[in-house]
Structures are given as C-alpha cells and as structure tokens.
Amino acid sequence: MGTIIITLIAVVVAGWCFYTLSEHEVESGYVVDKEHLPESTEMVYDTTFNLDTPQTTPECFVIWVADRNGVEEIYVSEDEFNEIKEGQKWQRNSL
C-alpha cells in the first residue's frame, strides 16, 4: 500500500514539473532573432485520392524573445516585424 502511494506521488510531481516547464511564456525579454518566412507552395502526396496536391503555407513573420527562463517563438505582424531590431527589449502587450 505504501509503495503505491509513493509511486502515485512521484507520478503527480513529475507531471506537475513537466506541465510547469512546458507552459513557459515570455512576458518581457530581448529579441534574439527574427525571420521572414515568405509564402510557399509544395506538392504533398494525398493517399486518399492517390495524387499530388498543392499545399500553400502563408507568409509569416517570426521573432524569438528570450528571458532568463527560456526562449519563445512569437508570430507578429509585418509592421511590428519591421520596427523590431535584434537585441531590442520586447514586452508582451496586455489586452
């Protein structure tokens, strides 16, 4: 009985640790990199219809913001992307 309780407690603690580490969200930090990903189209094989179908990926603008706990990938608008410089202090807008 004691072994089951200890095992259950260990599983709960491990799950809690994994949850808290995976849910990190940068509130403020520094821009460490930025990238413009242009729109692209690639052919993907569709097994249902046995033919190649085009798949389009839309244009997006990505910045990576780091704080002392980690780095987060953030998608921004084109205007915000053009204003931001690498090394610049960044803060999440509260709505």
Residue 53 lies in a domain: yes
Q: First CA to last CA across the chain, in angstroms?
A: 50
Residue 84 lies in a domain: yes
The per-residue pLDDT for 81 is: 95
Residue 40 lies in a domain: yes
Residue 8 lies in a domain: no
Residue 35 lies in a domain: yes
Task: Kindly report, residue by residue over 35-87, the tens digit of the pLDDT.
Answer: 999 999 999 998 888 899 999 999 999 999 999 888 999 999 999 999 999 99
Q: How many domains does the chain have?
A: 1
Compute the chain's Rg from CA coordinates.
21
Residue 76 lies in a domain: yes
**Structural domain that includes position 84:** 27-90
Residue 7 lies in a domain: no
Higher pLDDT, 7 or 61: 61
Reported pTM: 0.64
Left, alpha or beta for 18 (phi > 0: left; psi -120 to 50: alpha)?
alpha
Residue 95 lies in a domain: no
- CA distance linking residue 27 with residue 2, whole number of Å: 42
